[in-house]
Structure 1
Amino acid sequence: MSYFQQKLNTQPTSAFELLSRLYDLTGLVYLHDQGTPVIAFLPQDFLIFQQAKLQQFQQIQFNQYRRNNEAISLIEFSKFHHAPTSNRNNSFNGGYIGFFSYDYSADQFIEIDAHPQPSFFLGQYSSFLKFQEDAWYFYSNEDQAEYIYQEILNRVNEPKQMPALSLDKQCRPRWSKSEYLNAFHQVQEYIKAGDCYQINLTQEFTAHVQGSLLSRANDLWELTQAPYAGYLKINDFELLSCSPELFIEFKNNREIKTRPIKGTMPRFDDPQQDQISKDKLSQSEKDQAENVMIVDLLRNDLSVYAETGSVETTKLFEIESFNQVHHMVSEITATLKAEINPMQMLLSALPGGSITGAPKIRAMQIIEELEGAPRGAYCGSLGYFNFDGTGSWNILIRSIQKYQNQLSMWAGGGITIASDAEAEYQECFDKISAMLDLLNTWQTSER
C-alpha cells in the first residue's frame, strides 16, 4: 500500500496546537502511543453506536459524510491482511482507530443501562499526521491525497480560538463518603458469600461545563505524562485520555501482550518518603494477591483465542512510577491463532479484567447493581489496529468524558476481602486528585 508522504512544513509542532487547528474535522483523534504520536482525521468510513443504534457513515467529499442505509457489523467492517510488514515498532500506519466504552463492552455479557453518549466509534483512517524524526509528516493513500494535504496545511497555518472549557461549579464526587462506604461494605458481603473474589468499585465525579474539553488537554497531558494519552471528538462527545495502562498490544507474528495494573500508592515530593511509599507497595501481600487474581483472569481471557501453550506471565509485580502514583504492573504474552480476527479477540477480552474483578461476569453484575450510573467510556478502551492486524489499545482510566455540557471523571480500585474501607476511599483521590484540582481551577467565578 503506497502512501503520499509530505513533511508538514509549518510552525506549530505540538500535538495540542495541531489538534486545536484541526478541531472542525470529522473523526479527529490523537494517540500518544508511548511516544510515537499520531493525529488522524476524516475517516473514509466510520461506525458509531449510540443509544442502542448502530450507524455507518461514508465520506463523500472533504469533511462531508452521508449515512449508509444499512450498517455492517464491526467484524465485517474491520478487514485485516496478515502480510509481512516493515512497520517494526507497530506504530499506526493506516487502519482503524476508535474507542469502545465500558458500557458497550459489558453489555456483550450482561444487561446494563448505557450512557446516552456514543458507546463506540471506529473509523477507517487513510490520512493522518505522524511525528517522527522531530517533525510531523502527512500520510495519505487516498486519491485526493495532495488536495487533503493542502487543506490540512491551510488549517494548520490559521490559528483558531477554541471556546475554553469552564466549569459552572466544582467537579465533585456523585457519592458522599458514607455512600461510598456503604457500597464498599456491600462488596465485602458479596465476597464473603462467595459471589466473587474481587470487585473494581468506582465512583463518578461530575460537573456542568461550557466550552471545549480539547482546550484544556495540553495542561492535563503535561500534568500526567501518561504513556497512553489520547483524544477523540465525534459530534458533541469528547474523550480525553490520560491513561497509564495498556490493555492489549497486537504485535508482529500474531504476538499479543497485556499489562494489567493492580496496586497503587501515592507519590511524594520528598524522595525518602516517596521511596517508602514505593517499597510499601512492592512488599504488599494484599496488592500482590489482588494483582495475581487479575493475572489469572487475563490469562484465561487470552487463552480463548491463543495458540495452546503460548500464554505466559512474563513479568509479575513490577513497580512503575507515574507523576501522581506508583503502580504494581504485571505482563502476560500469548500468540493469537492464525484464523482469528484481531478485532474479535479485542471485543471478547473487553472490558479488561483489571477494571471489573473476578470472576468477571459476576463482578460486572455487582458493579451494575452498586455503582448507580453508567461508566460510559471510562474503563473502556481507546486505540488502533493497522491493516496488518498489529495495534495497541489502552484501558481508559484517568480519563475525562464530555457529552454535551456534562463532564464526567471516575476513580476507584479493586476491593478484596483484605481491603480497608478508609484506604480504598483515599485511593480514589490519590489517583485523580491532581487532575481534579487542575480541573477545578477552570471554574467560572460565582455570579
Structure 2
Amino acid sequence: MTKVNSQTYSLFYLQDKGRFVKFSAPTSAYIIYKSFRINLLTGTRENIEVQDFLSRLEDIKLFNNFDNAHVFHLFYEVGYIVENCEELAKENIPLAMEFVYQNSAMFDLPKSGEVPTPEPVQYPSFKKYKQQFRKGREKLLNGDCYQFNLTSPFFFKFSQSFSPEDFIGKVWKNKNKIGAFAHCTFVSELNQLFLSNSPECLFQFKRSPTPTIYSMPIKGTEAVLSNGDRNKAWQKLKSCKKNEAELFMITDLVRNDLTRIQLSPSIICAKKQALNVPGIVHQFSIVKTHAMRGLNLLQVIKGLFPGGSITGAPKRNVLKILKSLEGYDRGFYCGSTVAIHKNMKAASINIRSCELDFGSLEMKYCSGGGITLGSNEASEFDETYAKMESFLQLLKV
C-alpha cells in the first residue's frame, strides 16, 4: 500500500482569474453516512444522521460572507434523502463529505509529474448496456418518465505510484482544457483524491448588482475528431431534434426547480449554446431566478439537487428507475460539490469526475447520457465511451 504524505486540501478553479484557489488546514472534516458520520481528524464514529447534516445547511446564509472556506461534497446518493426516497439509500456507503478550512491562497499548478497511463480493469459491455437501455425504454413507453440519464462505471489500475500533485498537474496541464467548475479534494485520511473537470454548475449565487441564482444545465453531445471538425460537430448537434428536445426538457425542469426555491419566477437567459470540451462538443442553457434575503444553502439544495441533467424527469421517479437499472453506486460522480468562501457561493455537477485511491492505485470513472424515446442504444453507448475517452485524453502526453 502506498501512503501519500500530502495533507487534506481542496482546489477550486477560478475561471475569471485563470487560476486555482487552495483551501487547506481543515478545522473540521467529516464523512457522512445514512445513520452516522466519521470525524476524519480524530477517526471517531459519531451517531449523527444524514438528516442532521442536511439541517445544518440551513445555517449557511448565502447573503453572508464566510472567512473560513466551507466545502461540501454531496454524493449522488444523498439525493435519495433530499427527494424523499430515503429507503433507496444504503447504510454503508458515504453520502457526503464536509470540510471547513482555515487557510486559503492562490495556487499555481505543479508541473506534470510521471503518471503512467491507466490500464483498463473493467469496462461496461454493450450487452449489459442494451438490457438497461431497453428496460428503461419500457418506463418511457409506460409514461413513468420522460427522460432518464443512464450511466456506467469504468475501472482502471495504475502500474506505479505517484502523488496527487503529479496527477493534478497532468490532468490540468493544458489550461485550455480546464473545466469551468474544475476542482478536487485530496483526503489524506482516506488516501483518496476526488477530482472533477466539470464544465457544469448546479448553481451560482451572485449578490450584485441584483441578487441572483444561476443554473446551467448541459444536454447533448457530439464527438469531435479534430479541432478542425468542431464547427461541423456543433452544426450537427444543433440540428439534432432529439438532442434539442432533451436539452429543452431538462431546461424546463431546472427552471421549475429554481422557481420552487423561494417561489420566485425563473427565466431562461441563454438557450442552446455551444460548450467545447476535449474531444466533444455539448449544448447548454442558462436559467436564473431572483434571490431574496434569508436564502440559505438548504433551500437551494432542496430545490435543485440532484441536478436534472444527470437524473431526468420527473426527478423522483427517475431516481427510483435508475436505482433499479444501473446496479452500482455513482458516489462522487453526478453529485455536487459546494464551495462557500467570501463571495464564492457555487456548486458544480460532478461530471468528468474520478475517484482515485492511492493505496490500491485504482481509479473509478463514470459517464453516461440522457435517454428519450428518440434515443438509439448503439449511439448512446458510443457517447458513454466518448465521454470516458475525453477524460483520458487529459492523461496523455
TM-score under structure 1 length normalisation: 0.75
Distance 1:30 1:82, change over 3 A: closer
Q: Deviations over 1:299-328 (max 9, x none)?
A: 11111113433x111111111212221111
Matched, 1:121 2:88: no
Q: Give the direction of change, closer, same or farther, for the CA distance of 1:68–1:340 in structure 2 (3 Å limit).
A: farther
- Is 2:364 aligned against 1:408? yes
The residue that corresponds to 2:72 in the other structure is 98
1:1-400 residue pairs with structure 2 within 5 A? 24-26=6-8, 28-34=9-15, 35-50=18-33, 52-56=35-39, 71=48, 73-76=53-56, 79-80=59-60, 94-109=68-83, 110=85, 111-112=87-88, 114=90, 118-130=94-106, 169-173=119-123, 175-209=124-158, 211=161, 212-222=163-173, 224-234=177-187, 235-236=189-190, 237-252=192-207, 253-269=210-226, 271=228, 273-309=229-265, 311-386=266-341, 390-400=344-354
CA distance in 2, matches of 1:93, 1:397: 28
SS at match of 2:221: strand
Alignment coverage as a number of residue pairs? 377
For the Cα contact (< 8 Å) 1:352–1:395, is it kept in 2?
Answer: yes
Can you give the 5+ residue segments of structure 2 that lack an aligned partner in the other structure? none
Superposed CA deviations along residues 238-264 of structure 1, whole A, max 9, x for unmatched, are 201111111110111541000000011
Cα gap change, 1:40 to 1:423, in 2 (>3 Å): same
Indicate conservation of the 8 Å contact 1:228/1:245, yes or no: yes
Deviation at 1:275, TM superposition (A): 1.8
**1:399 Cα deviation from its structure 2 partner:** 0.6
Q: Looking at CA atoms only, which structure, 1 or 2, has the larger radius of gyration?
A: 1
Question: CA RMSD for the aligned pairs?
Answer: 3.2
Q: Which runs of 5+ in 1 are unaligned?
A: 1-21, 58-63, 86-91, 137-155, 443-447
Shift of 1:387: 5.5
Alpha-carbon distance change, 265 to 296 in structure 1, aligned in 2, over 3 angstroms: same
CA contact (8 A) 2:223 2:233 kept: yes
Deviation at 1:214, TM superposition (A): 4.5
Identity %: 26
Distance 1:218 1:127 in 2: 21
**TM-score under structure 2 length normalisation:** 0.84
Counterpart residue identity of residue 218, structure 1: G
| Cα distance change, pair 77–244 in 1 and its aligned pair in 2 (3 A) | closer
- Aligned to 1:417, what secondary structure does the other structure show? coil
